[in-house]
């Protein structure tokens, strides 16, 4: 494998062009950085070089530091250069302090370390569409090559904080208006414009600017302190469990108060600590796991090319169907939305229109673009227009006989190559396709609600599903901007199956004396978007009971049966939609505790025979989190052991994108491994003796614990369930 490098080419005008080469995005590996240092020193020594232009090969400046090196640094296998080597010795004391002017010629990407290299040059020329940004905080670290000091001096403190804390890049045009780049040029004229600019600096026609020492964009010290105070308050409110955004603010402030060099040294030292932190390890794991979901052994390694999908039919215009249709037309697919009557069809079409209008209101889309997008959608009441569809996604209610009838009809009306997909969240796909002869093209396309917003797509395969159909759906998933995860066929598939004990564990705790609202607070504090009871209110009791029954039926030995939700339903409570569930809701859907809940809990407790346990009545936040999530870990182990997910990382991504598990904890099994299989197994064993088989560790977990092995290590036996 070729290592990254740089080349140097000196023109007749005396300008040395140094090119970063490390496909596909010219990332800054240590090889590239050492090569860049050599090329720079060569240019500075050579008498025929008057000025320098730094650019990237094949239309990309640099996508940033090579993230694949992080694992080696964290594990101590790769020697990290001493603190400040890159940011102080290389970029500041060699590049910026050079006696020959340098200009960065930016096209494509200048992200992270790539932008930091560009900011150390004496000027920057960019194409209008190039993307410039410092997204390091997404990985649990901070900009480590001087970005915390140079960006505020080029664009001002407020804008620099916004760019770093949100990780959002700016396009070349905005970068120019901000002062981050000095001029814009077309891709064809980019390098020549940069050459001329470098010579103009040399000959005094353009200013020679060291970004690190610019002060014209900086606020007064008093104003700056107010900006930092506001930024810290926002971070504490939005990301209370994360330290690195606060560290980033501290470092920027250090440079403003004590000078840029002090800021550079603080940045270099803190970067070394953060890159080894649990947060960074978790987020780097998520980064690679998300990109790895499209690699499926025995499917994506066969050399199959995805077939072109032009036209898609969606059956059912309810919340899910209309959301799926929205996701498809937003990515330029032609869509037919079929319903059973005119009234339901109009309601479905109106939902799609409302989804697009919501984007227009938020400024994500123009009215003209919204109308053009909506024109891709047509309604239908029969199968006449299904003659040339390439894929159908069924999104009707969870009724087996209805779905069986639909799939039998689809076989008659759709072309033989058409993919037949179901959005079922719980029903076995083999049952759905029982009355067809098309099992090889039947597949699950399980979206999460709202389907046009939630990022996960579970692609469910049976033993009969053809690899070609899986490859096709993976391609569609990527095109509609979802993270697709291929899973096996079982009750609840991956996400709902892993998380079915989540609410059950919460109800078990409540029936044994833990305060309901304390559970939701502890789980939200842990990092979930909401607690289990608030979630049931949001989803609705009808859906909660229907899916719960599927698990009671299929896994009776390990479910916790409670009458709490049915008792609430008897009182005409259905969750947020009726303004009464576990919480009470006002006109603005703001939740507040309901003092009446106690009487329902007492009644449910008397039916199940659960006794109040003084220990559970005084449970700490740590133990609430463990008693709610360890049963989820236990079920995730089963899902992994049975081959429902191909690799542990797929379970992690599913938990994050399907259920909102905090990404900075790395996903359900990654987090479990941070606590250790032995510890989790021993806790579950202890609880199962007191509270029953609901907590009993599965064989896979017990076996890994006995060996002290990580839960995420590959499963050796064949994936029998696929």
CA distance 401 to 350: 28
The gap between the terminal CA atoms of the chain, to the nearest Å, is 34
Report the residue count for the chain: 722
* DSSP result, 219-254: PPHHHHHHHHHHHHHHHHHH-TT--HHHHHHHHHHH
Closest by Cα among 529, 531, 497 to 516:
531
Residue 192, both tokens: 């020549």
- Evaluate whether 442 touches 420 at the Cβ level (below 8 Å): yes
Mutual orientation of helices 668-675 and 278-292 as an angle, nearest 10°? Answer: 140
Burial class (CB in 10 A: 0-12, 13-18, 19+), 376: middle
- Dihedral angle sign, alpha carbons of residues 474, 475, 480, 482: positive
- Let me know: does 502 contact 625? Beta carbons within 8 Å: no
Residues 513 and 428: their CA atoms lie apart, in Å, by 36
Q: How far is CA 262 from the centre of its chain?
A: 35
Nearest to 561 by CA among 499, 495, 615, 607: 607
Contacts of 480 (CB under 8 A, 6+ apart): 327, 328, 330, 331, 333, 457
Integer Cα distance of 166 and 231 in angstroms? 11
SS3 state at 407: helix
Using N-to-C axis directions, what is the helix angle for 495-511 and 541-554, rounded to 10°? 100
Q: Compute the C-alpha angle 74/88/131, nearest 5°.
A: 75
Query: Which residues make beta-bridge pairs with 311?
Result: 334
384 catalytic residue (yes or no): no
Strands 5-10 and 15-21: antiparallel
CA distance 117 to 6: 13
Catalytic-role residue among 96, 116, 458, 642: 116
Residues 6+ apart with CB under 8 A from 41: 94
Rg (CA), the chain: 29
User: How many angstroms separate the CA atoms of 383 and 191, rounded?
Assistant: 57
At a CB cut-off of 8 Å and minimum separation 6, what does 542 contact?
Answer: 574
Strands (E) located in 91-164: 102-106, 109-111, 123-126, 131-133
* Closest to 621 measured CA to CA, from 714, 486, 527: 527
**Is 116 noted as a catalytic residue in this protein?**
yes
> Burial level of 718, CB count in 10 A (0-12/13-18/19+)?
exposed
The sign of the CA dihedral 421, 425, 430, 431 is: negative
Q: Do 575 and 512 touch, CB atoms closer than 8 A?
A: no
Q: Which of 136, 267, 394, 642 is catalytic?
A: 136
Return the structure tokens found at 337: 């939305």
Instruction: List active site positions.
Output: 116, 136
């Amino acid at each position: 494998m070729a290592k990254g490098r740089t080349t140097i080419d000196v023109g007749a005008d005396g300008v040395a062009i140094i090119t970063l080469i490390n496909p596909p995005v010219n990332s800054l590996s240590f090889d590239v950085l050492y090569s860049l240092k050599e090329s720079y020193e060569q240019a500075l020594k050579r008498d025929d070089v008057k000025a320098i232009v730094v650019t990237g090969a094949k239309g990309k400046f640099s996508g940033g530091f090579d993230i694949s090196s992080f694992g080696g640094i964290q594990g101590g296998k790769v020697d990290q250069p001493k603190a400040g080597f890159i940011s102080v010795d290389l970029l500041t004391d060699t590049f910026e302090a050079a006696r020959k002017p340098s200009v960065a010629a930016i096209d494509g990407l200048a992200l992270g370390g790539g932008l930091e290299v560009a900011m150390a040059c004496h000027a920057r020329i960019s194409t209008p569409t190039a993307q410039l940004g410092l997204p390091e905080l997404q990985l649990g670290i901070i900009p480590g090559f001087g970005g915390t000091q140079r960006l505020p001096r080029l664009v001002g403190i407020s804008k620099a904080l916004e760019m770093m804390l949100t990780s959002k890049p700016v396009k070349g045009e905005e970068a120019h208006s901000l002062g981050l780049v000095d001029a814009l040029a077309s891709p064809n004229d980019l390098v020549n414009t940069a050459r001329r600019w470098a010579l103009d600096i040399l000959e005094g026609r353009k200013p020679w600017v060291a970004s690190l020492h610019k002060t014209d964009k900086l606020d007064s010290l008093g104003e700056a302190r107010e900006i930092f105070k506001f930024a810290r308050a926002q971070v504490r409110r939005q990301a209370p469990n994360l330290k690195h955004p606060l560290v980033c603010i501290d470092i920027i402030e250090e440079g403003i108060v004590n000078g840029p060099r002090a800021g550079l040294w603080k940045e270099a030292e803190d970067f070394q600590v953060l890159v080894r932190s649990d947060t960074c390890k978790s987020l780097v794991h998520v980064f690679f796991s998300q990109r790895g979901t499209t690699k499926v052994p025995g499917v994506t390694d066969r050399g199959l090319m995805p077939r072109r999908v032009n036209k898609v039919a969606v059956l059912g215009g309810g919340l899910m169907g209309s959301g799926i249709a929205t996701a498809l037309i937003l990515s330029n697919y032609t869509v037919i939305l079929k319903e059973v009557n005119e009234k339901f069809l109009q309601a479905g079409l109106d939902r799609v229109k409302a989804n697009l209008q919501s984007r227009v209101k938020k400024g994500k889309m123009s009215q003209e673009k919204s109308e053009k997008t909506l024109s891709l959608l047509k309604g239908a009441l029969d199968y006449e227009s299904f003659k040339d569809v390439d894929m159908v996604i069924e999104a009707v209610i969870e009724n087996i006989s209805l779905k069986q009838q639909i799939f039998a009809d689809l076989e008659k009306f759709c072309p033989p190559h058409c993919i037949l997909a179901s959005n079922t969240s719980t029903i076995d796909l083999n049952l759905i396709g029982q009355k067809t002869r098309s099992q090889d093209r039947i597949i699950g396309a399980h979206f999460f609600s709202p389907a046009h917003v939630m990022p996960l797509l579970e692609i469910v395969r049976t033993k009969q599903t053809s690899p070609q159909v899986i490859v096709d759906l993976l391609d569609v998933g990527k095109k509609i901007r979802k993270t697709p995860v291929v899973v096996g066929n079982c009750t609840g598939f991956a996400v709902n199956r892993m998380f079915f004990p989540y609410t059950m564990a919460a109800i078990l705790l409540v029936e044994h004396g833990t305060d309901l609202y304390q559970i939701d607070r502890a789980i939200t504090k842990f990092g979930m978007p909401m607690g289990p009871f608030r979630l049931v209110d949001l989803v609705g009791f009808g859906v909660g009971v229907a899916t719960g029954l599927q698990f009671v039926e299929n896994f009776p030995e390990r479910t916790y049966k409670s009458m709490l939700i049915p008792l609430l339903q008897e009182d005409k409570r259905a969750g947020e939609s009726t303004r009464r569930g576990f919480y009470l809701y006002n006109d603005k859907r703001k939740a507040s505790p309901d003092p009446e809940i106690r009487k329902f809990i007492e009644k449910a407790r008397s039916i199940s025979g659960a006794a109040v346990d003084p220990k559970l009545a005084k449970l700490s936040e740590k133990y609430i989190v463990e008693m709610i999530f360890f049963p989820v870990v236990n079920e995730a182990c089963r899902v992994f052991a049975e081959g429902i997910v191909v690799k542990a990382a797929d379970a992690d991504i599913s938990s994050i994108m399907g259920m909102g598990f905090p990404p900075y904890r790395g996903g359900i099994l990654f987090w479990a491994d941070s606590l250790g299989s032995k510890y989790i197994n021993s806790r579950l064993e202890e609880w199962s003796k007191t509270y029953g088989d609901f907590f009993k560790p599965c064989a896979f977990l017990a076996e890994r614990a006995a060996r002290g092995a990580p839960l995420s290590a590959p499963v050796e036996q064949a994936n029998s369930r696929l």
